[in-house]
Amino acid sequence: MQKHTTRIFVYAMSILLFIVSFLYPISDNVFASSKNEYYNETYRPQFHFSPKQNWINDPNGLVYVNGEYHLFYQYNPFGNTWGNISWGHAVSKDLVHWKHLPVALKPDDLGMIFSGSAVVDKNNTSGFFKGKKDGLVAIYTSSGETQQQSIAYSTDQGRTWTKYAGNPVIKNPGIKDFRDPKVFWHDETNKWVMVVAAGNKAMFYSSKNLKGWAYMSEFGAEEGAQLGVWEMPDLFELPIHNDPKKTKWFLKVNTNPGGTKEGYRSQYFIGEFDGTTFKNDNPPDTVLWTDYGKDFFAAQSWSNVPDRRIWIAWMNNWQYAEKIPTNPWRGSMTIPREVTLIEIPNKGVRLIQKPVEELKQLRKEKYMLKNQLVIPKTNLLSKIKDDTFEIVAKVELDSAKEFGFKVRKGEKEETIIGYDAVENKLFVDRTSSGETDFSEQFPEKFEAPLSPKDGKIKMHIFVDRSSVEVFGNDGKAVITSRIFPSPKSQGIEVYSIDGNVKLNSLEVYDLKSVWKNNE
């Protein structure tokens, strides 16, 4: 009898479990129980893109189509250092939450799949998309014995790709470093334009169908910072924020200095592009940096986004990229930023970068204040702790020589995001930020020139588990920096040195994680 009851009990429980598993799909259950495990390793960015595992570098093939932002990226599917380079793939509807998709392009007989871009071939100029809408074409570098440009196409929103049988579409012209094609449609001259890095300059090609390309011109051998070879060019036209009837062309390239101390950085030129040649507005020796930190490399902008220009970069630096202490993944992207141009009197046109509006959805109000003095040796934020947060501060300069925020503060570590009011410089000091000894080229203080506006400095700061990004005076100066503090270091301090400053307003937001197990 007892055996019988036990059997009925077991049957009843199985049926109940069966029903429950329908009501709560198993993946949700797993997610609920492992909520604290997914994307929660030490140093795992909570609101930046990173792959689940393995190595990534440059963002590639950024294109917006059918409500999705595509993010392809340089990816090693087999390990945590550079190699076997393929295009990894993720999509997002809001630039904030990302869904991982299978590897999009794998190495072939022509070589590895180095960096490149993607376009929507709306009018089927390539002939790949008869009767199909929104066909995508990826233009990338095949890196084998030489570097050449190849294409692939997708008729299913980037989910699967077919490599063009006629690859390469541009054979190597005898230049060792010949890579990273960025392609866009040039309306005025009714053709596709490619800008591609070629040694220490950029070369421009044109095409009617994305398959046949003709050389047009080149720019840069004697311009800007020449620290080695150039990489990852991007070229686009933007209205000038404070004079919207006027537009300028913006050309960005990265400098790859080999082994020199300068580090890998990102410079830009402002000028004119007539469909054939780019002309620099500034004298050739003018050097303009996009970001004054060391961790904003290989930025690329999305193509086909209506009404705004957004870019994202690899948040790392080749000097120590393979040594940063993260596992089982290595590499992440910056937050996406909207880029605009501004005319600064007596200086010229300059780049402005702002965090995209979509990031505001992550905010949870934490601490707000208005009109309060910051006095040396006090800390208005002594009660707050956090490792993923945003600070928006408007500060009126007073007698202080320096002021700012110390974040990810622990017993022996802190990252200082400050303003030097004597030298007029925004800075990030990561010399005591936590783990720094994996590379001699990591512990550093980064400075960006920034003048007060009406006696005020604005700081907009994003702190994640292993990074800080600071935007000074509405994006006029930006510093991006990886840091590797202990997970326990969560103190925050607002400080001033040798005098006071007045916080006109201070907003601190805790930021929600964008990761949940949706695979």
The residue ranges that bind ligand FRU (CB under 6 A) are 57-58, 74, 85, 114-115, 141, 179-180, 231-232, 298
Q: Min. distance of Cβ 106 from ligand FRU in angstroms?
A: 14
For residue 320, the tally of other CB atoms under 10 A from its CB is: 18
Q: Min. distance of Cβ 21 from ligand FRU in angstroms?
A: 43
Backbone angles phi, psi at 504, to 5 degrees: -65, -40
Q: Which is nearer to ligand FRU, 85 or 310 (CB)?
A: 85
The token pair at 466 is: 């292993």
Q: Which is nearer to ligand FRU, 58 or 390 (CB)?
A: 58
Q: Which is nearer to ligand FRU, 115 or 340 (CB)?
A: 115
- Give, as one character, the DSSP assignment of residue 3: H
Q: Min. distance of Cβ 115 from ligand FRU in angstroms?
A: 4
Beta bridge partners of 70: 63, 91
**Does residue 396 sit in helix, strand or coil?**
strand
Q: Min. distance of Cβ 141 from ligand FRU in angstroms?
A: 6
The active-site residue, picked from 28, 58, 234, 274, is 58
To the query of whether residue 420 is one of the catalytic residues in this protein, the response is no
Give the C-alpha separation, 365 to 380, whole Å.
Answer: 16
For residue 369, the tally of other CB atoms under 10 A from its CB is: 15
Cβ 58 vs Cβ 73: under 8 Å: yes
Q: Which is nearer to ligand FRU, 74 or 433 (CB)?
A: 74
Give the C-alpha separation, 220 to 201, whole Å.
Answer: 5
Of the candidates 481, 430, 482, 426, which has an alpha carbon nearest to the alpha carbon of residue 458? 426
Q: Which is nearer to ligand FRU, 137 or 232 (CB)?
A: 232
Distance of CA 418 to the CA centre of its chain: 23
Q: Min. distance of Cβ 457 from ligand FRU in angstroms?
A: 33
CA distances from 303 to 121, 136, 306 (A): 11, 11, 9
How do 54-65 and 329-330 pair as beta strands? Answer: parallel
Enzyme catalytic residues: 58
